Structures are given as structure tokens and as C-alpha cells.
Amino acid sequence: MPLGNVVFLGSGETSPTGGIIFQKLSAGFGKAFRIAILETPAGFEPNSALVAGRVADFLRTKLGGKSPRISVIPARRKGTPLSPDSPEILEPLPAADWIYFGAGSPSYTVRQLDHSLAWRMILAAWQQGATLVLASAAMIAAGAWALPVYEIYKAGEDPHWKPGLDLFGALGWKLILVSHWNNAEGGEELDTSRCFVGRERFQILLDLLPEVAVVLGLDEHTTLTMDWERGTGHVEGKGAATILKSGHELVHPSGEEFSLREIGEYSIPSKPFGVGDDLWEDVLRKRAPRDMAAATPQEVLALVRDRERIRNAGNYAEADSLRKKIEHLGWIVMDTPQGPVVKQRSPG
């Protein structure tokens, strides 16, 4: 089953540029698609609900024609009633078509999500076709190593890395992700590029990395969409994506598409990774297209889900081929405004 797209935002998720990009991203989804917004990156802030709520309101406004069903998930801190290990809190997460998390602290995000139920659900949903949208702090946290921005920039700690969530580790990448790559808030007096740490300190950070590591920097108000079916990265927005690899720098400006193998060779595992069998099956059931009978075989559910995604992308010939496969298995799929409905074909 193909991985869902991964979309990184260097910043500006609620800016006019962000609105345009979100509208483009939604083009491949039908009405009433499901969005889950994770509060975790800002969960240490007293106003974390407002941070996530602002994104939810922005998406409702910009995607109003799609009538998305948006759930804000207050998975703020481990060991509390609002924990990323709470099944009740996370209930909307597995079924989401988009999973978004963004602003906050990268190191806090890693501490709260690492080995959590929320992160394992995210991995399962992504491997079953969900689109991951990671902005700012969440983008940094998803790398093999995470840049502790607050600790270095605000608290004056020496340049260092912390272990990240390593989203792409199972694919064979050791990828470091850095948002706010071209930040210029410090003006002429202070270099705040490279996510506020500046070029001088960032060079120290680069020297601390193993040779196999690759850095992907993303400018502010810029997105990079990783399309795993096509094996491409596509840059949009006001800036560029920069790849630092083996001492070389590759820059891809807005509007450019490149092979993901520029980052490094990768292989998508044939079996689920980072998720236990029981959770995998639970997420698979929850991601089943709407109104499906509980007795529908998992093989049929997977085909219907793939057909819906392919059909929304406009690949009607391929979608029709999958419909015939479903019928060959003894089931009929019907398209409705609320999504696909499947039922067993009558004998004869």
C-alpha cells in the first residue's frame, strides 16, 4: 500500500501563501474529508488550544467549499488526562485524511510523541494513505535528529542535536529537517537564518553529524510536498528547499520538482513499520470508507480505499480497474456525496 504524501511547511501555515497551498493540497480530496490537528508541539504553552484552534479556523475558512471535518486533538503531555497515549483523546486520529501538527518546540514534540500511541497511529495512518502536513517545529521533530531551537537560541546552550522522531528511518534515510531556513528577523545585526541559530552555529552543528546524514532546509512561506507514488518532491511558495549532502548544496526554488532520490536512495518497506499488528488492524478498520459493512474483508477495504484516493486524484482509468477487482472479489462499490459505499454482490 503506497505511503501518503508528506507536506512540509517552512513557516506561514496561516498566511495567505499557506492558504493558497492548502487549497491546492485539498484538490485531490472529496467533500467532507477528515483533518486531524495535533496540539502536541505547543502543548507546554497555556494557550496551546488557541494555537491549534487558529489553524482549524483558518482551514475552515480557506477550505470551506470542501466542508472538511476538522478535529483538534489536545494530546498535550504524557502522564496527564490529555496525553498522547490516551485512546479517548486520539479517537479521531486514525481515520484522518490529513494529519497536521506545527508550531511549538521541536524537542518538546519529540519528548511527548516518541514511542507514544499517537505517533504509532500517525505512522499507521501514513502507511495506509493519510497525508501528513508538518509545519515549523513539527517538521524539525520528524527528522532523524532534531534541532533544539529554544535551548540554543533562547537559553544559550552549546550547539547540539537531540534524537528526533526519525519519520524516514525505516526507508533508509538519515534526514535532518530544518524549517525557517532563510529567517531574517535578526536583521543586519544578528544572523537568524537556519531556524534562528545562524550560519556560524549551524556549521558547528553540521560538523557534529555523521557522514550519512542529509540536511533538508525549507525557507519560510514555502512548502515541499513529497509524493511517494511518483517519487518526487515539489516546492511551492516564496522560497526554496535546500539539500545539504556530502559537502554539496542543492537548491530547488519554488515551482521546481526533483527526484526524492536526490536526498538519498530509499526503499519503502513491504510490511508495516513502527506499528504493532493489533494497532495496524485497528487503524485499518477505522480508516475504512464511510458506511462500509463490518463484515467487509480487509482486502476489499484496502482496494476501496486505494480506489477512492486514485479517483480523487483524477486517475479514472486506474480507479475503474480497481473497481473491477473489487467486483471480482464479490463486492460492489457505489460512489455517493458522502463517500464510497460497498456491499456484497447478490449471487447470480
* Residue 180 shares a structural domain with residue 306: no
Alpha-carbon gap, residue 1 to 269, rounded angstroms = 10
DSSP secondary structure letter of residue 154: I
Q: What is the pLDDT along the chain (348 residues), one digit of tens a residue?
A: 579 999 999 999 999 988 998 998 888 787 788 999 999 999 999 999 999 999 999 999 999 888 899 999 999 999 999 999 999 999 999 999 999 999 999 999 999 999 999 999 999 999 999 999 999 999 999 999 999 999 999 999 999 999 999 999 999 999 999 999 999 999 999 999 999 999 999 999 999 999 999 999 999 999 999 999 899 999 999 999 999 999 899 999 999 999 999 999 999 998 999 999 899 999 988 887 654 545 678 788 888 888 887 887 778 888 889 989 998 888 888 776 556 777 777 655
Query: CA nearest 22: which of 51, 71, 63, 73?
Result: 63
- Cβ-contact 310, 319 below 8 angstroms: yes
- Helix, strand, coil: what percent of the chain each, to 5? 35, 20, 45
Residue span of the structural domain in which 254 resides: 6-262
182 lies in some domain: yes
Indicate if 171 and 318 belong to the same structural domain: no
Same domain, 183 and 299: no
Q: How many domains does the chain have?
A: 2
Answer whether 133's CB lies under 8 Å from 169's CB: no
Whether residues 199 and 328 share a domain: the answer is no
Q: Is 82 among the domain residues?
A: yes
C-beta separation of 258 from 286 below 8 A: no
Residues 37 and 168 grouped into a single domain: yes
Look at residue 346 in the predicted model and tell me its pLDDT. 62
Is the alpha carbon torsion for 38, 42, 47, 51 positive or negative?
Answer: negative
> Is residue 258 domain-shared with residue 292, that is, in the same domain?
no
User: Which 3-state string (H, E, C) describes 127-151?
Assistant: HCCCEEEEEHHHHHHCCCEECCHHH
Flag whether 267 is in a domain: no
Asked whether residue 283 is domain-assigned, the answer is no
234 with 141, same domain: the answer is: yes
Report the distance separating Cα 206 and Cα 144, nearest Å.
Answer: 14
What does the pLDDT read at residue 293?
47
Domain identity same for 236 and 186: yes
Query: Which pLDDT belongs to residue 42?
Result: 96
**Domain identity same for 231 and 120:** yes
Instruction: Identify whether 165 is part of a domain.
Output: yes
Q: Which three cell numbers stand for residue 204?
A: 558547528
d(C-alpha 326, C-alpha 230), whole Å = 24
Give the Cα-Cα-Cα angle 9, 12, 14 (nearest 5 degrees).
110
- Do 219 and 185 lie in one domain? The reply is yes
Out of 219, 244, 262, pick the residue that ends a domain.
262
Query: Where does 63-186 have alpha helices with state H?
Result: 106-113, 117-127, 136-141, 149
Domain assignment of residue 163, yes or no: yes
d(CA 114, CA 267): 23
Q: Which residues partner with 133 through β-bridges?
A: 7, 100
What confidence score (pLDDT) does residue 208 get? Answer: 97
Is the C-alpha dihedral spanning 211, 213, 214, 217 positive or negative?
A: negative
Q: Are residues 172 and 300 in the same domain?
A: no
Distances (CA, A) of 342 to 62, 244, 302, 321, 345: 31, 47, 12, 16, 9
Q: In terms of Cα–Cα distance, which of 105, 171, 160, 112 is closest to 138?
A: 105
Which residue is listed with cell 502522564?
Answer: 79
Do the domain assignments include residue 112? yes
- Residue 268 placed within a domain: no
Query: Are residues 76 and 149 part of one domain?
Result: yes
224: nearest Cα among 238, 239, 241: 241
- The CATH number covering residue 243 comes to 3.40.50.880
